[in-house]
């Protein structure tokens, strides 16, 4: 059976120069340690509480990305502990993250989440709304706007990825974007060939997730 180290190596080959974010939601601290031992340093989590529990058990110096929806009552913990938030979709959340980012830490890296699914999810804003939100975010002194993130629905056609890439290209000169985060285990080649610079990969690295993503909590119990 392929180990986590084997999976990481195979995926790094498939994605070329793109950045690999290892999505560790629903994976145990033990499995994350295996990925770290294989050289992986950037991890994505969807749930704030689960992420905080894992951070407490793992070495410092890792880079943590929030890739799940963020509610305003969780922004403080995120501003204090994460390095990236990929799911910014409102000025209110952006403002809170900037205000709550502790002095002495570098600016929090953020991506604006674009709703790229035909119907499906409600997360993210439309392409049309993106320029004005980006304009607001760049005024916030403790945030650093790095680009866009999207979650095309499973089986989404190439055109869905391409539309996000075209928006990215259009806004890039003005905002200095360097990161387009799209692509997961099942669509990473498609995303890369349509211009993704970062892919978020969970199951293809770690195997199936444990139920409802409680891996961190289980390990904390005596």
**25 or 160: whose CB is closer to ligand PLP?**
25
**138 or 195: whose CB is closer to ligand PLP?**
195
Min separation Cβ 151 and ligand PLP, Å: 5
Q: Which residues pair with 110 in a beta bridge?
A: 85, 145
Residue with the closest Cβ to ligand PLP? 202
Min separation Cβ 31 and ligand PLP, Å: 13
Query: Pick from 152, 116, 115, 147: which is nearest to 134 by CA?
Result: 147
Residue the block writes with tokens 């139920």: 211
Structure tokens at 176: 């200095």
**30 or 99: whose CB is closer to ligand PLP?**
30
Dihedral in degrees, nearest 10, Cα atoms 150, 72, 110, 208: -50
Contact of 168 with 131, CB cutoff 8 Å: no
**55 or 199: whose CB is closer to ligand PLP?**
199
Residue the block writes with tokens 């900037």: 98
Residues in contact with ligand PLP by the rule CB under 6 A:
23, 25, 46, 67, 151, 184-186, 200-204
Min separation Cβ 32 and ligand PLP, Å: 14
Q: How far apart are CA 205 and CA 190, in angstroms?
A: 18
Share of the chain residues as helix, strand and coil, in percent rounded to the nearest 5: 45, 20, 35
Min separation Cβ 104 and ligand PLP, Å: 29
DSSP secondary structure of 142-188: TEEEEEEEE-PPTT--HHHHHHHHHHHHHHHHHHT--EEE---TTTH
Min separation Cβ 191 and ligand PLP, Å: 11
Min separation Cβ 175 and ligand PLP, Å: 22
Residue the block writes with tokens 């990481």: 8
**70 or 137: whose CB is closer to ligand PLP?**
70
**26 or 143: whose CB is closer to ligand PLP?**
26
């Amino acid at each position: 059976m392929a180990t986590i180290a084997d999976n990481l190596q195979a995926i790094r080959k498939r994605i070329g120069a793109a950045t690999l974010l290892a999505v560790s939601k629903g994976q145990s601290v033990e499995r994350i340690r295996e990925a770290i031992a294989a050289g992986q340093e950037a991890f994505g989590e969807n749930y704030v509480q689960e992420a905080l529990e894992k951070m407490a058990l793992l070495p410092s110096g890792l880079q943590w990305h929030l890739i799940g929806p963020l509610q305003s009552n969780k922004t403080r913990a995120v501003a204090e502990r994460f390095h990236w938030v990929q799911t910014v979709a409102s000025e209110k959340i952006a403002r809170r993250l900037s205000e709550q980012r502790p002095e002495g830490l570098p600016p929090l890296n953020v991506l604006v989440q674009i709703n790229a699914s035909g119907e499906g999810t409600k997360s993210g804003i439309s392409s049309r709304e993106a320029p004005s939100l980006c304009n607001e975010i760049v005024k916030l002194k403790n945030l650093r706007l790095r680009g866009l993130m999207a979650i095309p629905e499973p089986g989404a056609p190439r055109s869905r990825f391409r539309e996000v890439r075209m928006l990215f290209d259009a806004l890039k000169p003005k905002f200095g974007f360097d990161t387009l985060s799209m692509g997961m285990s099942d669509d990473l080649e498609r995303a890369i060939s349509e211009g993704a610079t970062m892919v978020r990969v969970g199951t293809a690295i770690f195997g199936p997730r444990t139920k409802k993503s409680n891996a961190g909590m289980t390990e904390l119990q005596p």
